[in-house]
Amino acid sequence: MIISNSLLKERLSTVESRLSKQGLNYLVVFSNGSSSGTANRTHGYLRFLCDWDSLSAPSILVLRSGKEPILLVPNSYYQRLAMEKLWFKDIRKAPPKRLGPEVVSILQPLVSENEKVGYIGRAETPAPLYDALLQGLPGVEWLQTDRIVDELRTVKDPVAITIHRRAAEICDTMFETLTREMRKGKKAYQLQADVEHTARYEGCDFVTTFLPVGPVVDRARRTRRECFRVPQPGDQLVLAVFLIYEGHWGHAIRTGTVGKPSDAQRRAFDIAIKMEEAALEHVKPGLDLNGVWKASARAFKKYYPNTDCSNWIWLRTGHGIGLDYSDPILTEAFRYPYELSEEEKTEDRPEKKPIQIKPGMLLELHPNVFIPNEAAGAIGDMVLVTEDGCEILNGFPRELIIW
């Protein structure tokens, strides 16, 4: 699906209107490309504003009130691609070391001393680039304005939802590939290759997985060195898939066993699914998103009310998902358990600023337990907030898989 230029122009117009209300005439948007995957927190900005991705290199969009945008790209290849793809034509070559000076050359004739200029993407901006802006435009006040775009991204429009649905379908197909291939005597890293090939064949821009295999799954395992084991009777497998399709993320997790699960394996998975069900019950318009974590924590505490879990391996219960793996604002409601104080690890942790759940928000819920020397259980789904509740976009069965 192609995102229309009319929709992109509408987004830019909305951003310019918001900038004007803050007295800003200029905005500089820094984005890394999608190749860094889950580690990237800026890719989504240029995808949202002009559907641009420079893969392994950064790009910068410069907005000037009332004028067409300017896009700075790393080399001639990207320049030609952008000129074919985008509706505006001021596309300039600027290798990473020249990005700062190029922005200065654009703004220097326009901005006055002590004027405020908006900036998005500061968290991933290389220090030399930002230093070049400060030195080249002395007296200019740079305001971090990420929130202006972050707020627009919290509720997905129909086009984004359609693309995310397709991303979820591809996740399902990847689980089907594992089910078909895992009894063929392949090593775990070979199964990962099969699963990732499925996503590439379906047209994904980016894909990665983790696939720990063993009698007791203890943590995420990604590299070939960690994934030599051939699945054997008594083993459990946890497959997590991560992909980008047309700039939009897909992500899901499933757990299974080779043959009949042990009592510990069954119990670990039952805990994870109960945690997800509790979280889903709270995903309703009008409620506070922070309560999703609490609902999941309460379900966990029914099994382990007084256990010291400080040495356990944890993934967070969930996060926002969209044009970035951890989409801004919504992800603020979810934190890694190891980042929390002892008081915060319970459902009675101190209140954070409420985030009202609204139709069109998209979450990734993936509650999990990695119980030392016993077993692991994990389940992960893309969850869309609807008018009267929520919808799981992934269609692959959510029960414990038995091969």
Q: Are residues 130 and 162 in the same domain?
A: no
Q: pLDDT tens digits for the chain (403 residues)?
A: 789 999 999 999 999 999 999 999 999 999 999 999 999 999 999 999 999 999 999 999 999 998 999 999 999 999 999 999 999 999 999 999 999 999 999 999 999 988 999 999 999 999 999 999 999 999 999 999 999 999 999 999 999 999 999 999 999 999 999 999 998 999 999 999 999 999 999 999 999 999 999 999 998 999 999 999 999 999 999 999 999 999 999 999 999 999 999 999 999 999 999 999 999 999 999 999 999 999 998 999 899 887 767 667 778 899 999 999 999 999 999 977 766 655 555 545 555 789 999 999 999 999 999 999 999 999 999 999 999 999 999 999 999 999 9
Q: What is the pTM of this model?
A: 0.94
The predicted structure's pLDDT at residue 284: 98
CATH of the domain at 41: 3.40.350.10
Q: How many CB atoms lie within 10 A of CB 377?
A: 27
Q: Are residues 100 and 168 in the same domain?
A: no
Total count of domains within the chain: 2
The predicted structure's pLDDT at residue 113: 85
Q: Are residues 77 and 120 in the same domain?
A: yes
Q: Are residues 181 and 87 in the same domain?
A: no
Q: Are residues 236 and 347 in the same domain?
A: yes
Q: Are residues 25 and 135 in the same domain?
A: yes
Q: Are residues 255 and 351 in the same domain?
A: yes
Q: Are residues 126 and 240 in the same domain?
A: no
Q: Are 19 and 145 in contact (CB under 8 A)?
A: yes
Tell me which of 153, 170, 191 is where a domain ends: 153
The predicted structure's pLDDT at residue 230: 97
Q: Are residues 76 and 173 in the same domain?
A: no
CATH of the domain at 260: 3.90.230.10
The predicted structure's pLDDT at residue 340: 60
Q: Are residues 187 and 266 in the same domain?
A: yes
Q: Are residues 127 and 190 in the same domain?
A: no
Tell me which of 153, 178, 196 is where a domain ends: 153
Burial-class residue 248 by CB neighbours within 10 Å (0-12, 13-18, 19+).
Answer: buried
Tell me which of 94, 121, 153 is where a domain ends: 153
Which residues span the domain enclosing 13? Answer: 5-153
Q: Are residues 61 and 112 in the same domain?
A: yes
